[in-house]
Amino acid sequence: MKKIYNILILILLVAFISSCEKELTSEGVSRITYFPEMTMTGADVIFLPLGTAYTELGVTATEKGNQINITTSTSGIYHSYSGNTVDANAANKYVLKYTATNSDGFSAFLERVVYVAKTGDLVNSIEGLYTSTVVRNGASGAQYTNMKYVMIWKTGTNTYQISDGIGGYYDLGRNYGSTYMASGGIVTANNIAANDFTFGPGFPAGAFGGVVTLTSMSVDAAAKTVTFKSTWDSGYNFVVTLKQVQI
């Protein structure tokens, strides 16, 4: 019994010494990190008429009051773009991401969105940036009303592309993001005043897949609206009313 008792004492002593060593070796290693503080100059959403030069107003970042470097990346949402800044001569939704990293490797970021669009007169051109209201299979709701934004841009003499052939129902209304845009809808305007349009081939419903087909379009120049219908082969029909935004 005495032998067992001595062994227990030895185990406790070793554990105590080990604990003290850990406490001593960990002493003084705690530190404070100062995360980047970022400030954006100008608006975080900018509307730029096509062809108007873009001026980058910039972002500043500091760490513990000292200015630090910022890296900027630019991406195009409605169609691919890999430049370093906004292309004012190409209609698109541009997202500028500003990133700052502190001395300990911790990062912070801000984003600015720039819409570059041409506002057509809806007599000779249907180009423009639009809010969108969508009725799907006869039903709608507040989240699918006046969604921001859907864009139409020119791809040829009388041909246009719509950023989302289902009006942003999933991208904007359900907030699934741009991978759920039904991109690729092509419209040929044979006679806008007569509401004479023809449509290109079907296109996918974003990440869902399947095929979306544009079936009709009408324009009301006085009301600044474009209304189109599309069908998705998954069993859904969409009636999209676009209201032009004046920029």
> How confident is the model over 115-152, as pLDDT tens digits?
999 999 999 999 999 999 999 999 999 999 999 999 99
> How confident is the model over 15-49, as pLDDT tens digits?
443 443 334 344 555 779 999 999 999 999 999 99
- In the chain, the N- to C-terminal Cα span, in Å, equals 92
Q: What are the residue ranges spanned by the domains of the chain?
A: 37-117, 128-245
> How confident is the model over 90-105, as pLDDT tens digits?
999 999 999 999 999 9
Residue with tokens 């904007």: 172
Q: Is the pLDDT of residue 7 over 60?
A: no
Q: What pTM did the predictor assign?
A: 0.85
Domain 37-117, CATH number (from 3.40.47.10, 2.60.40.10, 3.40.50.2300, 3.30.420.40) = 2.60.40.10
The helix (run of H) or strand (run of E) holding residue 8 is helix 2-26
Amino acid in position 66: N
Q: Give Cβ neighbours of residue 144 (< 8 Å, ≥ 6 apart).
A: 133, 134, 135, 136, 169, 173
Q: How far apart are the C-alpha atoms of 148 and 132, rounded to whole Å? A: 7
Closest CA to 84 of 71, 69, 93: 71
